[in-house]
Structure 1
Amino acid sequence: MSRSFELREHTADVAVEAHGATLGDVFAAVADGMAAAMCDDVPETDAERFTVEVRASTKKRLLFDYLDALIYERDVRGVLPVANEATVAYGGDDGGHGNEPWVLDASAAGVPLIEVAARDLKAVTFSEMRIEERDGGWEVYVVFDV
């Protein structure tokens, strides 16, 4: 799997720049970067995995809703979503999904927050979000409100 991320300073917030061979790879890399923004030492884990499915009308909305769903899972389950995996598909203009042709199927391992020293990350933002195809792969930049 070819993907990576880097945390970037962003005024009072934090940003993640991620790269991946596919949209699924780069979305998962952003999610891994989000976990790293919340926890300096993201543990290797065999924690129970949970799934997330998101449908959206655009790639940006899909990414926003995916990351927002992970933050929700963190808050509801009390877990840090790590070891993220994702696939992204486009179903065409009608996509068989009404007005939401973009579909993401993802999973993450949920490390109990009680086991890690995690910082609060309040929300994902649309501020400066970009998703670009580059050099046969994908690059994403996302700012998180801390």
Structure 2
Amino acid sequence: MGFTLRDHTADVAVEADGESLGGVFAAVADGLTAAMCDDPAETGDRFSFSVRAEGREALLFDYLDQLIYERDVRGVLPAAHEATVRREGDEWVVEASARGVPFADVDARDVKAVTYSEMRLAETDAGWEAYVVFDV
């Protein structure tokens, strides 16, 4: 289980799978990291955050958007992602963490934003799969 980067016109897409919903979220996030940096350093401290949304696809979008926000605010490349997803009443919640690799330790490319373009999140016999396009 993991991710694959896919060319997508002028953008980049991540195709990922995971045994659980949290696993596929983390795999897409790992793909986001790979789209920004070929070989992230093993430095940096872990940080945690949570995101809530009304649906699973919206939660995936907001989770990835939060990672881009954390990158910009903290000045780090989020890497080594972990995520747990659960339903709480009418909302979906992701509890997540990542290791923030200082920009000084990496040669990173810019990913501007996550998009809803062609986004797919589906349950399979083996777990979950996702496809997400990022604006570069």
Scaled by the length of structure 2, the TM-score of the pair is 0.97
Post-superposition shift, 1:85?
Answer: 0.1
SS of the equivalent of 1:64 reads: helix
Is the 1:47–1:110 contact (alpha carbons within 8 Å) kept by the matching residues of 2? yes
The runs of at least 4 aligned residues of structure 1 exceeding 6 Å deviation read none
Instruction: Answer yes or no: is 1:29 the counterpart of 2:27.
Output: yes
Post-superposition shift, 1:135?
Answer: 1.7
Structure 1 residue corresponding to 2:115, chosen from 120, 125, 129: 125
Deviations 1:4-62 (A, max 9, x none): 0000000000000000000000000000000000001123x252100120000001110
Match for residue 77 of structure 1? Answer: 74
Q: Report the Cα distance in structure 1 between the residues aligned to 2:40 and 2:127, rounded to whole angstroms.
A: 26
Q: Report the Cα distance in structure 2 between the residues aligned to 1:136 and 1:57, rounded to whole angstroms.
A: 25
Q: Report the Cα distance in structure 1 between the residues aligned to 2:31 and 2:40, rounded to whole angstroms.
A: 10
Is the 1:52–1:66 contact (alpha carbons within 8 Å) kept by the matching residues of 2? no
Structure 2 residue ranges without an equivalent (≥5) = none
Q: How does 1:1-146 map to 2 (within 5 A)?
A: 3-43=1-41, 45-91=42-88, 95=89, 99=90, 101-146=91-136
Deviations 1:97-145 (A, max 9, x none): xx5x100000000000111000000000000000011123100000000
C-alpha RMSD of the superposition: 0.9
Which structure has the greater CA radius of gyration?
Answer: 1
Q: Report the Cα distance in structure 2 between the residues aligned to 1:85 and 1:145, rounded to whole angstroms.
A: 23
- Give 1:37's aligned amino acid: A
% identity of equivalent residues = 66
Structure 1 residue ranges without an equivalent (≥5) = none
Q: How many residues align?
A: 136
Q: Report the Cα distance in structure 2 between the residues aligned to 1:83 and 1:136, rounded to whole angstroms.
A: 22
